[in-house]
Chains A and B, each alone.
Chain A
Amino acid sequence: MLRLADLGKTYPNGVEALAHVSLDIPQGEIVAFVGGSGCGKTTMLRLIAGLESPTSGRIELDGETLAGPHPSVGVVFQEPRLLPWLTVAQNIGFGLGGLAKAEREQRVEEALLRVGLAGYGDRWPRELSGGQAQRVAIVRALVARPKVLLLDEPFSALDAFTRASLHEHLLGLWEANKPTLLIVTHDVDEAATLADRVIVLQPKPGRIFAEPALGLTRPRDKVGHEFADAKRRILAALDGSLQATPAAGKTPEIAGAWW
């Protein structure tokens, strides 16, 4: 269980990025956070990752308060952020320094196989396409078998086909160990494809606005009307979150299109 208790973050320059966020996330759940810009999505992930510390509230994982980066929490950034001087295999094994060599190599091999990159272990990151690099970044975070994986708009730089294939890869990886996944995304379709729960955030300060019900089962039928309905409910909640913010000043029709 990942628990966010009254989490808040105010930056030294006075910007209140996140305020009073409380959320309980059972182990193994996939949660998507959507919202307009400035709603604190990325700040929230950085707090959970331990890259920044909250100014109020707490983050608990199975009862343990998180302070700083934690071995049970993995992170996938918007860019792959592979280390260019390490081969693909070395990148994947980067966080496995504590394991015996044989065990480490076996896990790396397994990981490469699982994301369809068997035989790519000796390549340099620069030889990979954007989608391949992001797959490596995902398994790099997952080989250490974290309980929680944080993904910050991980597919936003990829084209639609690559994104769809990565959704499949991600769900496949998730099924193996069922870590909790927290995904920040701009993409309503992505949220509906991946998530068990969608949390819509509201800007200024960033806070939870709504949690529209999805009513979907796995595997997702992306052409069925349930899927379309779920997307519509997410969009409606997003529109609501922006209307509730006078500063945003967008009409509902446009609002659906601009994040």
Chain B
Amino acid sequence: MASDVTIASPPDAARNPRGVGARRVPSPRALIGFIIPLTFAVAYEAAFRAGLVEARLLPPPSRVLKTLADLAASGELFAHARATLLRVAAGFALGGAAAILVGAATGSSAFARRLLDPTLQALRAVPSLAWVPLFIMWFGIFEESKVALIAVGVFFPVYLGVMGAIASVDRKIVEVGRVFRLSRVAMARRILLPAITPDVVIALRSGLGLGFMFVVAAELMGASEGLGYLLLDGQQLGKADQIVAALIAFAVLGKICDGLFAAAARPLLRWQDSFARVSAEGEG
């Protein structure tokens, strides 16, 4: 007999280990993090005004801000940031796409894994920067070699993330698909793809962080524009304020890109308990 009485059962907390600490709205407590940098900035500015420190090696915040404002006003900042962003975007797209394709192959097929993974792991052991001489010989000193270096830097973390995500899809969930007689394609689309999405998003975000790391390396090795060029130029001309301004621009740009990527991925991960959990990942 069907009963309308529903006995409330206790919430099953063990199923949601990610639910702990899920908080979307930043609380005033999050502002605690600003205390140290702001205190330092104010103290340093005051020390500079009082003539206690010399500004040549570490310029005071006011001068850095002025440099930033000048660079922005002249349009230079925008041009450099644009050049850097385009390089990161191209390298990230190439490296990320290749990593997803290869990672999907090695993650889902034991044969592909045996065939490809040893070679890729061996290549991974080569520090990415060590490719630079070869890339310059192959692609020249302009954009191509820089994009290639960024793509290589992005490739490996994303590849590992995607392969690991597919290999670790819960067998129990796959069995549900089998019980409902899903075809191979339907299994991939309806079970595997959604199951790996959170891990792939994390892998791509750490890949994006590495993309910014390698764009600096690429631009330091010779470029006529880009935030890395701004760094190098500041060093050669002894303009510490320009170096710090470029560092700040990098930080802001990296944070914005990561934030945009996370926001774009959020609709795909609505079902997860917490997005805050993964937002600490990133610049690796």
Contacts and interface: CB of A to CB of B under 8 A. Distances in A.
Interface of A: 49-51, 68-71, 74-75, 77, 79, 81, 83-86, 94-95, 114, 116, 124-126, 128-133, 158-159, 161-162, 164-165, 168-169, 171-173, 175, 219
Contacts of B15: 126, 130, 133
Given A49-B179, A84-B271, A175-B2, 19 more contacts: A50-B178, A70-B181, A75-B179, A77-B172, A79-B172, A83-B191, A83-B194, A85-B194, A86-B271, A116-B4, A126-B271, A128-B12, A129-B12, A132-B9, A133-B12, A158-B9, A161-B7, A165-B5, A173-B2
Contacts, number: 90
Contacts of A162: 7, 9
A161 B3 contact: no
Contact of A168 (B2, B178, B197, B271): B2
Interface in B147-176: 172-173, 175-176
10 nearest interchain CB pairs? A172-B2, A131-B9, A130-B12, A168-B3, A162-B9, A165-B7, A85-B194, A116-B6, A95-B180, A129-B9
B16 interface: yes
A129 B11 contact: yes
Given A69-B179, A172-B2, A81 B173 contact: yes
A158 B19 CA distance: 21
Contacts of A173: 2
A71 B6 CA distance: 30
Interface residues of B, number: 31
Contacts of A86: 271
B51 interface: no
A108 B271 CA distance: 20
B165 to A, nearest CB: 14
Nearest to B2: A172
Nearest to B176: A81
Contact of A165 (B6, B179, B180, B272): B6
Interface string B191-224: 1001101000000000000000000000000000
B52 interface: no
A130 B2 contact: no
A129 B195 CA distance: 21
Nearest to B268: A85
A129 B6 CA distance: 12
Contact of A172 (B3, B10, B12): B3
Contacts of B191: 83
Contacts of A172: 1-3
B76 interface: no
Contact of B175 (A51, A85, A130, A169): A51
Contacts of A94: 176, 180, 190
Nearest to B186: A97
Contacts of A219: 1
B4 A69 contact: no
A173 B3 CA distance: 10
A146 to B, nearest CB: 10
Nearest to B18: A126
A126 B19 contact: yes
Contact of B271 (A50, A85, A130): A85
Interface string B1-36: 111111111111001100100000000000000000
13 contacts: A51-B179, A69-B178, A81-B173, A81-B176, A83-B173, A83-B176, A84-B271, A85-B271, A94-B176, A126-B16, A126-B273, A130-B10, A168-B5
B10 A159 contact: yes
Contacts of B180: 69, 94-95
B275 to A, nearest CB: 14
